[in-house]
């Protein structure tokens, strides 16, 4: 990994110590080029509308392959959607609910992991409480019972970066016949997410953070055995096997019809309606092609560096950051004792919500990008005294020690 070349690919680093990937990763040069390429392509007159259509969607289909590789999944298990919430909503509305069922998540989880379930009548939402920012398996075991329909967690928590042990959560889910759904927004692109070895049922993940992708566009993973078990809650004609355009039976039908819409043929019958046999049946409103092109490029970029290389680099940078923060008297809100629970997302406090707020404001105005995040955990910001939260710093592969030095120097001056 040639860090100078990589830093050149992220122009934001020319002017800022950008340490806020957990919020949004500014577009890289390759991502911008992919978008420009798309616009140029679309501005050229098509020689054949259908061929143009296929070509403009082919990088989107390729992005699915990239996502599958990254997750060690099969291509047919991947749907490209628009947001994490859309994936959560899709899964929540596929499951068969009974009164008295419950959903287990954590007290700092992202709202997209709770909001969809809150609307389901008779379904209880159970929040596992953190202890000093961490979650123990025994606390999950206590919360999960035979009425638990699904455990839904953020693999890496968005407030303090605590990273869950997915294999262990799978065992807890299996003990009670529950599904396991994971939001990997804060982990995919910096940590290994392997659906095969962890046995996950569902993943939803918008890709504009650690994945360095475009603002719009998310991956929905549905385990192969579950795909045909569920009917999609959103329905569009492209989710039908015979009309899907880009793939399988749909593509064959279009070609057979001389590139005309198969649904316009007199023999087409709505009774033949069958959902796609892949996760594409869950796609609903399709991801705009321009975002698919950008996502394809971003995922290729991440894979070309390698997740293990990224993980090790982020950990090294994070160690450097921790040393600096402790040196100037800041308090860590991220548990760092066990490597398996760590990531490049770190949270610290200067002692109060007010001083954290002021620090974030000043740091950002002086060229250091970080964010302020507090959880709504029981003793949270509502009582005025933060229990869990503070200043969130992200160290991703393109950062270096100088970025961190700038943060520490300024934070030290603000504390003086
Ligand atoms: C853990 C996590 N999940 C999801 C999201 C975003 O959800 P959506 O894609 O539905 O906007 C964020 C954004 O901050 C996040 O940090």
Pocket test for ligand 1, best of 90, 109, 185 (most atoms within 8 A of CB): 185
Residues 258 and 117 in one domain: no
Ligand 1 atom closest to the CA of 186, numbered from 1: 1
Pocket test for ligand 1, best of 86, 155, 186, 203 (most atoms within 8 A of CB): 186
* Closest C-alpha to ligand 1, atom 6: 84
Cα 3 to averaged position of ligand 1 atoms, centre (Å): 28
Is the domain of 116 the same as that of 160? yes
pLDDT of residue 236: 78
Per-residue pLDDT, 380: 43
Last residue of a domain, one of 215, 250, 269: 269
| Per-residue pLDDT reduced to its tens digit, 339-393 | 999 999 999 999 888 999 999 999 999 999 999 998 876 554 444 445 688 999 9
Residue 411 is assigned to a structural domain of this protein: yes
Residue 46, in any domain of the structure: no
Distance 48 CA to ligand 1 centre (A): 39
Cα(first)–Cα(last) distance of the chain, in Å?
A: 38
Which pLDDT score, from 0 to 100, does residue 384 have?
Answer: 47
Residue 83 shares a structural domain with residue 220: yes
**How many H-runs (helices) and E-runs (strands) does the chain carry?**
14, 13
- The response to whether residue 85 sits with its C-beta less than 6 Å from ligand 1 reads yes
Residue 112 has what DSSP assignment? G
Q: What pLDDT is attached to residue 382?
A: 41
Helix (H, G, I), strand (E, B) or coil at 220: strand
Same domain, 10 and 147: no
Same domain, 386 and 407: yes
Tell how far the Cα of 55 is from the centroid of ligand 1, in angstroms: 30
Model confidence, pTM: 0.94
Residues 72, 7 share a domain = no
Q: Is residue 297 located within the same domain as residue 318?
A: no
The tokens of 375 are what?
């959880």
Residue among 92, 156, 158 to mutate when testing ligand 1 (max atoms within 8 A of CB): 158
Question: With a 6 A CB cut-off, is 154 part of the ligand 1 pocket?
Answer: yes
Q: Are residues 146 and 108 in the same domain?
A: yes
Query: Is 155 part of any domain?
Result: yes
pLDDT recorded at residue 241:
76
Residue 207 included in any domain: yes
Return all residues near 147 (Cβ < 8 A) that are at least 6 apart.
100, 101, 102
Tell me which residue has tokens 């100037």.
328
Q: Is residue 183 within 6 Å of ligand 1 at its C-beta?
A: yes
Determine if ligand 1 sits within 6 Å of the CB of residue 160: no
Q: Tokens representing 122?
A: 């008779």
The rounded Å distance from CA 413 to ligand 1 centre is 33
The answer to whether the CB of 356 is under 6 A from ligand 1 is no
Question: Within a domain: residue 150?
Answer: yes
For ligand 1, the distance from its centroid to the CA atom of residue 209, given in whole angstroms, is 9
| 293 in the same domain as 322 | no
Domain end point (choices 250, 285, 304): 304
Q: Is residue 310 lining ligand 1, measured as CB closer than 6 Å?
A: no
Indicate if 82 and 181 belong to the same structural domain: yes
Distances (CA, A) of 342 to 136, 186, 312, 316, 387: 14, 12, 11, 11, 20
In a domain, 45, yes or no: no
pLDDT by position in tens, the chain (length 416): 799 999 999 999 999 999 999 999 999 999 999 999 999 998 886 667 777 778 888 999 999 999 999 999 999 999 999 999 999 999 999 999 999 999 999 999 999 999 889 888 899 999 999 988 899 999 999 999 999 999 999 999 999 999 999 999 999 999 999 999 999 999 999 999 999 999 999 999 999 999 999 999 999 999 999 999 999 988 777 777 777 777 777 778 777 777 777 777 776 666 667 888 899 999 988 899 999 999 999 999 999 999 999 999 999 999 999 999 999 999 999 999 999 999 999 999 998 889 999 999 999 999 999 999 988 765 544 444 456 889 999 999 999 999 999 999 999 999 99
Number of structural domains found in the chain: 3
29 located within any domain = no
Percent of the chain with pLDDT over 70: 94
Say whether both 218 and 254 belong to one domain: no
Distance 226 CA to ligand 1 centre (A): 24
- Alpha-carbon distance of 175 to 322, in angstroms, equals 38
Please tell me whether residue 222 adopts helix, strand or coil conformation.
strand
Q: How far is CA 283 from CA 64, 91, 138, 201, in A?
A: 12, 12, 36, 17
Q: What is the pLDDT of residues 39-62, one digit of tens each?
A: 999 888 666 777 777 888 899 999
Which CA distances in Å does 16 have to 33, 137, 189, 355, 364? Answer: 22, 39, 22, 22, 9
Q: Is 389 left (phi over 0), alpha (psi -120 to 50) or beta?
A: left
Q: Kindly state whether residues 410 and 328 are assigned to the same domain.
A: yes
CA of 213 to the centre of ligand 1 (A): 14
393 CA from centroid of ligand 1 (Å): 17
Q: Is the CB of 291 under 6 A from ligand 1?
A: no
Which long-range contacts link 263-270 to residues 24+ away (Cβ below 8 Å)?
263/237, 268/242
CB-ligand 1 contact for 164 (6 Å cutoff): no
Domain hosting residue 253, numbered range: 241-269
Write the DSSP assignment of 340-398 as a string of letters: GG--SEEEEESSSHHHHHHHHHHHHHTTEE-EEEE---TTSGGGSS-SSEEEEEE--TT
Q: Is residue 32 part of a domain?
A: no
* CATH classification at residue 329: 3.90.1150.10
**Which of 90, 88, 84, 79 has the alpha carbon at shortest distance from 277?**
79
The CB of 186 under 6 Å from ligand 1? The reply is: yes
| Pairing assessment for the beta strands 202-206 and 218-222 based on DSSP bridges | antiparallel
């Amino acid at each position: 990994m040639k860090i100078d070349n990589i830093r050149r690919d992220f122009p934001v680093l020319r002017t800022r110590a950008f340490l806020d990937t957990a919020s949004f990763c500014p577009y890289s040069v390759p991502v911008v080029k992919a978008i420009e390429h798309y616009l140029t392509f679309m501005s050229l007159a098509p020689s054949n509308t259908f061929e143009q259509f296929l070509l403009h969607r082919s990088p989107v289909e390729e992005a699915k392959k990239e996502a599958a590789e990254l997750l060690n999944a099969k291509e047919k298990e991947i749907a490209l959607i628009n947001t994490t919430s859309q994936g959560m909503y899709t899964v929540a509305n596929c499951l068969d609910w009974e009164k008295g069922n419950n959903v287990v998540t954590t007290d700092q989880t992202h709202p997209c992991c709770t909001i969809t379930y809150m609307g389901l009548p008779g379904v209880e939402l159970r929040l596992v409480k953190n202890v000093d920012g961490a979650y123990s398996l025994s606390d999950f075991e206590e919360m999960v019972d035979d009425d638990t329909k699904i455990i839904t967690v953020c693999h890496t928590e968005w407030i303090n970066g605590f990273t869950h042990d997915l294999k262990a959560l799978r065992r807890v889910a299996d003990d009670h016949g529950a599904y396991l759904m994971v939001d990997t927004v804060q982990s995919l692109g910096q940590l290994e997410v392997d659906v095969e070895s962890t046995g996950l049922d569902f993943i939803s993940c918008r890709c504009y953070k650690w994945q360095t992708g475009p603002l719009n566009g998310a991956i929905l993973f549905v385990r192969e055995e579950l795909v045909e078990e569920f009917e999609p809650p959103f329905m569009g004609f492209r989710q039908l096997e015979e009309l899907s355009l880009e793939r399988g039976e749909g593509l064959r039908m279009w070609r057979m019809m001389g590139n005309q819409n198969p649904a316009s043929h007199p023999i087409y019958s709505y009774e033949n309606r069958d959902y796609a046999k892949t996760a594409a049946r869950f796609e609903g409103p399709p991801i705009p092609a321009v975002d698919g092109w950008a996502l394809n490029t971003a995922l290729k970029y991440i894979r070309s560096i390698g997740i293990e290389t990224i993980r090790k680099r982020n950990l090294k940078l994070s160690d450097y950051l921790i040393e600096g923060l402790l040196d100037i008297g800041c308090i860590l809100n991220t548990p760092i004792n066990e490597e398996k629970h760590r990531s490049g997302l770190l949270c610290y406090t200067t002692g109060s919500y007010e001083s954290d707020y002021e620090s974030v404001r000043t740091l950002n105005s002086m060229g250091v990008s970080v964010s302020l995040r507090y959880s709504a955990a029981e003793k949270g910001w509502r009582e005025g005294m933060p229990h869990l939260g503070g200043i969130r710093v992200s160290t991703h592969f393109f950062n270096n020690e100088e970025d961190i030095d700038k943060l520490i120097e300024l934070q030290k001056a603000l504390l003086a």
